[in-house]
Amino acid sequence: MHALVYFQLRGLWKMCKLKIERFSQQLRRQQEERERRRQLIDYDQVRHQALTSLSGNWRTRVRRLTCSGAQLKVMEANLAAMRGFWNYFRRRRLNEEVLKSAPG
C-alpha cells in the first residue's frame, strides 16, 4: 500500500513539475517579448527625434542657402550694372563681398 501511494505521489510530483516548468518558460517568453517591444518603442522614439531634428536643420540650411543664393545674384547683378571708371572702387569692394559670400 505504501509503495502504491509513493509512486502515485511521485507521478503527481513529476506532472506538477512539468507544468510549473512550462509555465515558467511561458512567463520568461512573455517577459522577453515585453522587453523587446519596450526597446523597439524606445529606439523608434529616439530615431524619430533624431530625424525630426535633422529635418529641421536641413530645412533651415536650405532656406539659408536659398536666401544666400538670392543675395549673391543681386550682388552680381549690381556688380554687372556698375560700368565706368568712376565705379572702380565700388566694383572692387562689391567683388570682394561677392567672393566672401560665394559658397565653397
CA 15/CA 7 separation, integer angstroms: 12
- Residue 104 has a pLDDT of 54
The pLDDT of residue 9: 95
Average pLDDT of span 85-92: 76
For the chain, the structural domain boundaries read 2-101
DSSP 79-93: HHH--SGGGHHHHHH
pLDDT of residue 103: 61
- Are residues 84 and 100 in contact, defined by beta-carbon separation less than 8 angstroms? no
Which residues are CB-neighbours of 90 under 8 A, at least 6 positions away?
82
pLDDT digits (tens, 9 = 90+) for 10-65: 999 999 999 999 999 999 999 999 999 999 999 999 999 999 888 888 888 888 88
